[in-house]
Amino acid sequence: MITVSPTTRIQVRNILLATDFSSSSEAALPHALSLARRYDAHLVVAHVIRPDLFELVPTEQSDVLKESTRRHAEEQMTRLLVSGRLRGIPHQVLIEEGTLWSVLSREIKSHDIDLVVVGTHGRTGSRKLLLGSVAEEVFRLAPCPVLTVGPRVAAGKGPLDSPKKVLYATDFRAESERAAAFAVSLAQEHQAHLSLLHVVKDAVDASSVNHTMLQEFFLRRLKDLVPSDAELWCDPEFLVEFGDPAETILRAAQQHDTELVVLGIRRSATFAGHLPPATAYKVVCQAQCPVLTVRG
C-alpha cells in the first residue's frame, strides 16, 4: 500500500479503474491512462456485475438479463482492448459478479492497488438515495487514495498527469494529515502552485476582531503543514475563508483555476447514502477538476 510523507516522492505502481462503461467512466479513463503512463504503473480495469440490480426482475427473466449484461460487458472490454488506448501500459481487465465493494475490496488487496480512479454521475437528493453513489462508496471505504472525476470536469482540460495548481482543503482533523502529505508531495514532484485552505463554518456572524483572530490562528496551523523549505520547490499559498465548506472549496478551486483538489476524509463503516451530501461528496460532484480523496 502506498505511503508518503512531505519529503518522499509518491510512487504509484498499481492503478484500478472501476468502470460501468457509462459516460462518467469514459471521462475517467483518460486520467487513469495518463497516470499509468506517468508512473509506469500497471492498470487494472474492473467492471462489477451487481446481482442486486436484478432483484426486481422475475426469476424466469433474471438469468437471461444477467447473460445479456455479461455479454455487453465483454463487448465493451473487447472494444477497449482493440482500440489501442491501452497500448504501452501493462494492464489487465476484469469482469466479476458480486456486491460492488466486496469485489473491489478483494481486487484492491490482491493487486496491491495504490490508487483507484472512478467517474461519478454526481447524483444528489432522492436520485442518490434511490440509486446510490458508486464513487462515494469507493472513496469512503478504500484504504488507498481515490481519484474521482465528476460530471463537471471539463474534457478540454486534458488528462491529469502533472498538475500545476493543487488545492488542499483541510478541517485539521486527524484524517487530514495523510492528505496533507499527499498534497505537499504532489506539489513538490510537479513543481506546482499549492494552495492550502481552511474554511471556518461556525463564525460567520462573529465580530471583525474575532474573524481576525481566527484567521491568524488558522493561518499559522496551515503553515505548520508545509516543510520550512517548501518555497524552494513550490509556491505555497495559505487561505482561511468563512462560510459553507463545500461551496467555499468549490469557489476557491474555480478562482485559482485548480487542476486537482485534495481532501482528507473519514472512513465510513458502511456506505453513506444520507442527505444532505457530505462536504467531500458535494465537492466531488461539482468540482471542475478531478478530486483526490485520501483516507486518514
194 or 156: which leads in pLDDT? 194
Average pLDDT, stretch 77-94? 96
* Segment 8-63, tens digit of pLDDT: 567 899 999 999 999 889 999 999 999 999 999 999 999 999 887 777 777 777 77
Q: Work out the pLDDT band at 231, boundaries 50, 70, 90.
A: low
pLDDT surpassing 80 at residue 168: yes
**Which residues touch 58 (CB under 8 Å, ≥6 apart)?**
none
What gap in Å lies between CA 36 and CA 4, rounded to an integer? Answer: 18
* Segment 101-160, tens digit of pLDDT: 999 999 999 999 999 999 988 655 444 433 346 788 898 899 999 999 998 997 656 677
195 or 121: which leads in pLDDT? 195
Q: Class assignment of domain 14-295?
A: alpha beta
Do residues 163 and 195 lie in contact, with contact meaning Cβ atoms separated by under 8 Å? no
Domain boundaries, the chain: 14-295
Average pLDDT, the chain: 84
| 48 alpha carbon, distance to own chain's centre | 19
What gap in Å lies between CA 245 and CA 236, rounded to an integer? Answer: 21
